[in-house]
Amino acid sequence: MTISYWSPALETAAPEEIRRLQEDGLRHTLRTALRVPHYRGRFAEAGVDVAAVRTVDDLQAIPFMDKAQLRELQPWGVQAAARADIVRLNATTGTTGLPCNIAFTRQDLDNIGELGARNLTAMGVRRDDIAWQCYGYGLWIGGSSLDRAYEQAGVTAFPAGPGRTSLAIQRLRDLGVTVISCTPTFGLLLIERAREAGIDPAADWRLRIGIFGGETMSRAAMARLSGSMPPGFRPHNTYGTTELGGPFVAGTCEYSREQGTFHVWSDHYLIEIIDPESGKTITEPDVLGELVVTTLRREGSPMVRWRTRDLTSWAPDAFDCPCGRRGHPKISWISGRSDDVLKVRGSLVMPSQVEDVVSAMAGIGAGWQLVVDKDPDGLRATEATVVVEIADDLRETAVPELAGRLRDRLGIRLPVVAVGHRELPRYEGKARRVLTLEEFAAVAPLVDLGAATTPVTT
């Protein structure tokens, strides 16, 4: 297996050297954060003397930052640079509330390009590749960040954005496109539409690398997507958020993609994994917790102990990857969000668990939904129904089999409702897999859940 590096000195630096860079970056970030009234107030309230925070171990004394606080600071957020030095403002998608503006200096944008080029190179992307870029543009940071990454890496790229699926399935064939960047959901949609148009992705496309991100996706779903692509196609996973400066906080290498982990670029980001309830630090491998990130080089909108709400864990070999990036630790792919965990009849259910089971079954279409019936007392959900697309001739056996697999994985029984091909919504951006009864009725008005939403014994 050939290993390539964009920045060999930084990517293969020893953990001790990366730690020194982190400590320098942490002191820089805290000095920068003091320009923001919110941070000054929070530090003072907690009795934190920023000058005394010299190492990563001292970080525990600093309060967390979260989305609720950031929303209260809109429209300018935690802007730490002078307005004249801000060259770009991006915004969060607003999926969970008011979109938040995040500021970028010229150096911040340069860092996006450099980190993106690192990710692409680690994934095996080469200068002779042709890329079809499907992440969104506008205020969202995804599309423009991938553009910078491709330019930095010298790749020929088409800034297609999401949508225009009819054009995309033709161009992927006619142009000999070798790399695609999109959400996993959009990748599955392209495959579905290509087959409907008489195009066989495995035979007619030349894709060899997929750069997926923007939403959680199980390894089973990733394997299902890859199985429809040309032989030798390799799916990769990238992670980031607008608040943290773009989609390149972490990314897979040729080894970690098979493991279901990715490397965090630790000269730019200092990470912690905490218990979402207690806030205590988790250091043991394979223990699920919430990812907390402190930026180390951001100028426009620095983030100090940002609670991402994304759930992950330390890899068993976090600092010992065969690719040589030992100083950039590996964490597991994001399995969901702490605020997305559903409470169904007293049991905790993660949408990613449902996706893992659904994607692993043959005969189920690309569309699926988890429909929840929230209770009046404000819990996340008291009932949940899994709605999937299954051909009529397979339903008699597939529905009970899927229900059984879900019971084995979740420990409770969930009703399963089968519908026909393309009766469920398709998503060109981030998929919304969890919908309330009212939301589901709006997007799938012809589907009658009937008695399936009544309580079912465990």
Both 412 and 313 in a single domain?
A: no
Whole-angstrom distance, CA of residue 430 vs CA of residue 286: 27
- 178 touches 130 (CB < 8 A): yes
Both 328 and 205 in a single domain?
A: yes
| Domain end point (choices 284, 311, 337) | 337
User: Which domain does 399 fall in, by range?
Assistant: 342-453
CATH of the domain at 78: 3.40.50.12780
At 295-318, the pLDDT tens digits run 999 999 999 999 999 999 999 999
Both 288 and 357 in a single domain?
A: no
Both 176 and 296 in a single domain?
A: yes
CA distances in angstroms from 321 to 2, 80, 261, listed in the order given: 14, 36, 10
Identify whether 290 is part of a domain.
yes
- How many CA within 13 A on the CB side of residue 29? 31
- 101 touches 84 (CB < 8 A): no
Identify whether 250 is part of a domain.
yes
Identify whether 458 is part of a domain.
no
CATH of the domain at 402: 3.30.300.30
Both 59 and 151 in a single domain?
A: yes
| Domain end point (choices 307, 337, 367) | 337
Identify whether 249 is part of a domain.
yes
Both 281 and 408 in a single domain?
A: no
Both 61 and 107 in a single domain?
A: yes
Identify whether 211 is part of a domain.
yes
| Domain end point (choices 286, 313, 337) | 337
Both 322 and 386 in a single domain?
A: no
Both 355 and 251 in a single domain?
A: no
Both 147 and 43 in a single domain?
A: yes
Q: Which residues of the chain have pLDDT under 70?
A: 1, 94-97, 374-381, 450-458
Identify whether 81 is part of a domain.
yes
Both 228 and 356 in a single domain?
A: no
Considering its fold, how many domains does the chain have in total?
2
Both 333 and 346 in a single domain?
A: no
Identify whether 188 is part of a domain.
yes
Identify whether 402 is part of a domain.
yes
Closest residue by Cα to residue 372 from 384, 386, 363: 384
